[in-house]
Amino acid sequence: MYGIKQVHRMYVRLATGPGGLKPIWILAPNNPSNYGLKLYHPSDGFYITQSDIILRQNRPFWQLLFFRFPACLPSGRTRAAIVTCGGLCPGMNTVIRELVVGLWELYGVRQIYGVVSGYRGFYSREPIELNPKLVHNWHKRGGTTLQTSRGGFDLNKIVDAIQNRGFNQVYIIGGDGTMRGAVKIFDEIRRRKLNIGVAGIPKTVDNDVGIIDRSFGFQTAVEMAQQAINAAHVEAESAVNGIGLVKLMGRSTGHIALHATLSSRDVDCCLIPETEFYLEGKGGLFEYLEKSLKENGHAVLVVAEGAGQDIIPRTEAQKQQRDESGNPGFLDVGLWLKSELKNWWSGDHPNDLFTMKYIDPTYMIRAIPANATDSLYCTLLAHSAIHGVMAGYTGFVYIYVIYSEKNREKLQFL
C-alpha cells in the first residue's frame, strides 16, 4: 500500500495518536451538507509500522494518503511552486503535469508556478506560471521542461525567495541530495514560523532511495537498457570471440544493470557496485569470460557505472574529485574494462581473432518519456503529495511501499 513517514502539521495543534501522529479531520458522515468536521483517531489498521531494522529506530509510523476536502488552505489563497533538481529521470515532466492538473482540478488552485533551473532558480530566475493547458502534453516529453541543475543551493536566498513571492506550497522533485536540501528548507521555514507546506517527491533513475520499493522512471530505464543489451548481443554473436560490453547507470547500486540483465536473458556476466570482483586469477573475470567464449563463441558483459571503482587505478587528484552536488567522482569503468579486456586477450591469445564492441547508453535510458507503468505511478506520487499538503502536512516525502496480504486486508476500507 502507500504511505508517508511521520510528518508535521502546520495548521492544527492536536493531541497525538500512536507514534506521535496527529489525528485527522474528516467529513462527519451525519452532516455532509455543510462539511461538518469531526476529530477522531483512526483504527489500528490505519497506522502502518515499518521494520525498525531498516530504519534503525523504534516503531516508526506511516499514514495513508487520500483526497481531503475541505482542504486546510482555501484554493484562492494557495500559491504553489514546483521545482525539479539533479539529474534527469523518465517521468519528471509527468510528475510536473500531474501536480499542476491535480492542484487545478482537484482543489481549484489557480496560482501554480514552475521554478526554472533547480534550486538556484528560486532566487535567480522568474518563475513560470503553469496551468493544465500549458502542461497538457508534457508527459510525452523526456527530461524536465522546467529545466534542472545541480548545486546552487543557498538556503537563505531560497527561503527568502519563497517568502517574498508568496508561495505557501512548495513541491520539490529530486534525488537524495535534493531531499536533504528540502529538509533544510523545511527546517528554515519552521524556524521562521512560516505557514508554508513543503513536500518532496523522490526521483532517482537508479532506484536507490532508501525505504522506497520503486522510484518513478526506473522501469522505463530498464526497458530502454535492454535495447542496448540486445545490440551488444547481436554484435557479439556475429563475430568470432566477440564480446559485447554495456555500461549502465548505477553509482551506488546496480538495480538497472541487474534488472535489465535478468529481463534480457542474453547477458553472461553482470557487474554491480554491491559485489566486488577481480580480473585475474582463479574465479576472476578473465577466467569466466574465456570459459564463456570457448563454450559459446561470444559473451555479453553488463557493468554498472559504480562497479569496480575500488580496483581502477587513480591519481590523488582523481581521489579528491567531486561533482557540483558533492558526490564522489567516478572513473569510467566501461572504458577501463574495454582496455583491460583487449590487453588481456592480446597478451594471452595473440594469434586468435577477438572483437570487442562497447556500448554506453547511459544518458539515452534516462532522457526519454515514462512508459505506461511509470506514467501511472507518477500520477499517484504527484496527487498523493498534493493531498498531504492540502491536509496540512509539511516536511514529508510520499513513498510507495508494498505490504503483506495481511496488512493489505486490514487497509481495504481505504
Torsion on CA atoms 385, 391, 396, 401, rounded to nearest 10: -60
Measure CA 362 to chain center: 16
Q: Are 285 and 378 in contact (CB under 8 A)?
A: no
Cell numbers linked to 209: 532511495
Q: Among the options 44, 154, 187, 206, which is catalytic?
A: 206
Whether 289 and 269 have beta carbons less than 8 Å apart is answered as yes
CB 324 within 8 A of CB 151: yes
What's the burial of 16, exposed, middle or buried (CB within 10 Å: 0-12/13-18/19+)?
exposed
Count of other CB atoms within 10 angstroms of residue 164 = 10
Q: Kind and range of the H or E element at 3? A: strand 2-5
Q: Does the active-site annotation cover 206?
A: yes
Concatenated DSSP letters for 203-263? --TT--SSS-S--TTHHHHHHHHHHHHHHHHHHHHTSTTEEEEEEE--SS--HHHHHHHHH
SS3 call for 392: coil
Active site residues: 206
